[in-house]
Amino acid sequence: MRHNWLIFLLFVPLLLCFGKAGKVSAEEMIKVRLVNDIGETNHLQIKLKGDFLSLDPTLTVKENVNYRVNVKNQSLIIEGNDEQQKLIGSLFLIPERYDEKHIIFINNKPYLGAIEIKIENNEYIRPINQLPVEDYLKGVVPFEVFPTWGLETLKAQALAARTYAYAHINEEIDDTILFQVYGGFSWDQNTTKAVEDTNGEVITFQNHLIDAFYSASNGGITENNAHVWGGNAMPYFPIKKDPYDPTHPWKFTLHKTQIDHNEMDWDNPNWWQEAVEKDEEIALSMKKWLQKNGYPGEIKILSIPRLELSKQHFISNRTNYGSIKVEFLHKLLDGTILYEQLILDDVKLNKIRPMIGGNHFKSYYIDSFENDGDIYTMKGKGFGHGVGMSQWGANSMGEIGKTYQEILQFYYPGTTITTHSN
């Protein structure tokens, strides 16, 4: 992979590049907000390998210099090489030549292509990576499946990921499971081969790209898109039994009472620090959800006095509605502590599941739910929404000799594999 970085002005959507033989080609670009490893922070470490340009005529960036980028008074400050400079607007870092010898390290993680670093919500730093779609996929597939899986399974994943990427090419995507997990320039030779062997191939229905949804495991039965996200039910997302999926049974328990306020020593000056929830991992997930949904500051979960599931099921055996009540203490930024309640009554489970956490509440395929005294117990199958391709099912199909075309036809019936045209 060696290309001249011919045009890259203000993150244009197409990269014009010369191949090894000098033939000019147009390769479509994708932009990815880097969230997964960055989080919400006001500083980043940057290091460059190879020569890079910035769009600021007063700023020269150098190779192998440890730069620190900070937010101060709603402006970006870059420090490094015994210099400090305040930037007007975003920081753009553009390689003089696009190849694997030009790398941007962000907090020691490598990325190819160009990076825009901007201020988000007036206080956080947000890097945005732009690079050719095919190289983006090489950073996606090894993080979506196990690179040790068979080549046909990896090819099926490559097509699903490529189709999803092109279907969302004009949207602002990020590097998390909300879209596709992207690990930057952390490639694997097996998944890279799968991407290269299927270069440009996508999945279409009636000459249109499909939304190639996939999840880890469907629990033995696929789900329709309309049941999960609403809208029109697509014919290539049927509800049917999947004999290839290993089902992946799961179970979690949750105590109704997390912190008994009657047993707290309010006179102890360290009572807040010493108050610990019984189910710390689930409580942490609840705290993060609450903080992102109107309750900034520190939180202690007291109890979950109500957790219920609808008795109605889809024909896929999945439950889609439920209710929850959470009681908690909320410490404001000025130190004031409030008693709060959150009540979600008869809402879709995709609002409740993130509160408990997808690593515990793994799917909507629920076999049983018990409310026994002070403990809720839930059992189910699968991991994820169950729409489209099961990654574990695809692996099973590959192991018995199915081709990637056969895998995709099973999970997206009636679709066609074509070559994407820019």
pLDDT digits over 208-226, tens only?
A: 999 999 999 999 999 999 9
**Tokens standing for residue 339:** 């008693």
- Is the predicted pLDDT of residue 16 greater than 80, yes or no? no
The CA angle 212-38-358, to the nearest 5 degrees, is 50
pLDDT of residue 8: 44
More confident residue, 308 or 56: 308
The pLDDT of residue 17 is 39
Q: Could you tell me the pLDDT band of residue 203, with boundaries at 50, 70 and 90? A: very high
CA distance 71 to 65: 19
Q: Which two tokens stand for residue 212?
A: 């190639």
Residue 410: pLDDT band (50, 70, 90) is: very high
High-pLDDT (> 70) share of the chain, %: 93
pLDDT for residue 207 is more than 80: yes
Distance CA 387, CA 134 (A): 24
Distances (CA, A) of 4 to 19, 22, 52, 62: 8, 10, 13, 20
Higher-pLDDT residue of 199, 26? 199
How much is the pLDDT for 141? 98
With a CB cutoff of 8 Å and minimum separation 6, the contacts of 378 are 251, 252, 253, 254, 361, 366, 368, 369, 370
What pTM, to 2 d.p., does this model score? 0.86
For residues 59 and 80, the answer to whether their CB atoms sit within 8 Å is: no
β-pairing, 114-120 with 91-95? antiparallel
**Cα distance between residue 57 and residue 404, in whole Å:** 49
Mean pLDDT of 270-288: 95
Averaged pLDDT, 278-293 = 96
The band of 3, judged by pLDDT with boundaries at 50, 70 and 90, is: very low
Nearest C-alpha neighbor of 44 from the set 8, 83, 91, 94: 91
On the question of pLDDT at 313 being above 70, the answer is: yes
Dist. CA 238–CA 420, nearest whole Å: 25
Position with higher pLDDT, 323 vs 10 = 323
Q: Is the dihedral of CA 355, 359, 362, 366 positive or negative?
A: negative
